[in-house]
Amino acid sequence: MSNPQPARTYDDATHLLGKLWVWGMGLVLLMFPTAICVYYDAWPEATALLKGLLAIAPMYWAVGIIEVLTYVPMLGAGGSYLGFITGSLTMLKVPCTLAALERAKVKSGTQEGEAVATIAIAVSSIVALFIIFLGVLLIVPLTPILESPTLAPAFEQLLPALFGGLGVALIGRNWKIAVAPIVLMIALFVAMPQLTPSAAIFVPVAAGVAILAARLMYRKGWL
């Protein structure tokens, strides 16, 4: 008599479904340009395509690796798969996750934290799709209002306001650890403003500085 197969655990199911969706979305993204090339019988030259990839691909690969190393421990398996599939991690999913973890009073890296992160990312994805749907319907009548000079300064401050609010909540937990990375990043971007477009690459640098500073202060008995 054969032994019954063990029941698939939550982690097993999460990784299986996550890999299927990630590879499936990648295939869907590649199908559109391929369909255009087939329909119009217009294929890019290999040399030109390679030159274009060499110009931009290294940056995207670097950012992709950095985001995985930085965000996966925070979001957990389920939240990471869902977040990377739906996109807008830095601008939407991570802030929503941090706010949810703060409200639920749970830590990332725990089972409770992973459940909260997954729910937060799922809800934010649904809300984002709903807002996009409304935006598509209302873009024509609202365009004159959204492009008015009166509202232009407000739209320029949306992202700083979002991360500023989250920063105050997180820095308030232990401001001593936040001093070193904040001072370093401000000094870096003031001295070399041309690095601002690639600011995402320096997220793990700031995280590493924070870890080293926390370790040093712990040894000194300052924490």
For 83-103, how does the pLDDT look when each residue is reduced to its tens digit (9 = 90+)? Answer: 998 888 877 888 888 889 888
Q: What is the pLDDT of residue 1?
A: 46
Query: What residues contact residue 86 under an 8 Å CB cut-off, 6+ apart?
Result: 93, 121, 125, 128
How confident is the model at residue 27, as a pLDDT? Answer: 93
pLDDT, residue 154, reads 81
Q: How many domains is the chain partitioned into structurally?
A: 2
Rounded to an integer, the average pLDDT of 158-169 is 73
Burial of 112: CB neighbours in 10 Å, binned 0-12, 13-18, 19+: middle
Q: Is the pLDDT of residue 184 over 70?
A: yes
The Cα 197–Cα 71 span in angstroms is 20
Question: Which of 153, 173, 193 lies at the terminal end of a domain, its last residue?
Answer: 173
Residue 22 belongs to some domain of the structure? no
Q: Are 86 and 93 in contact (CB under 8 A)?
A: yes
Percentage of residues in the chain having pLDDT higher than 90: 16
Q: Note whether residue 19 is domain-resident.
A: no
Q: Is residue 35 included in any domain, yes or no? A: no
Four-point Cα dihedral 116, 119, 120, 126, nearest 10: 180
> Residue 12's pLDDT is what?
85
pLDDT tens for 7-28 read 568 888 888 999 999 999 999 9
- Do 137 and 178 belong together in one domain? no
pLDDT, residue 34, reads 92
Whether the predicted pLDDT of 170 surpasses 50: yes
Q: What are the CA-CA distances from residue 208 to residues 27, 66, 215 (Å)?
A: 35, 12, 11
For the chain, percent of residues with pLDDT exceeding 70: 91
How far, in Å, CA of 162 to CA of 144, rounded? 25
Query: Average model confidence (pLDDT) for the chain?
Result: 83
Q: Are residues 168 and 216 in the same domain?
A: no
Instruction: Round to whole Å and give the CA distance between 133 and 76.
Output: 28
User: Does residue 165 fall inside a structural domain?
Assistant: yes
Domain identity same for 92 and 188: no
Q: What is the pLDDT of residue 52?
A: 78
The listed range with the strongest mean pLDDT (1-5, 118-122, 156-160) is 118-122
* Residue 139 in domain: yes
- Same domain, residue pair 106 and 161: yes
Structural domain includes residue 45: no
In a domain, 55, yes or no: no
Tell me the residue length of the chain: 223
Domain of residue 205 covers 174-223
169 shares its domain with 190: no
The whole-angstrom separation of Cα 42 and Cα 35 is: 10
* pLDDT(4) > 70: no
Clarify whether residues 146 and 193 are in a common domain: no
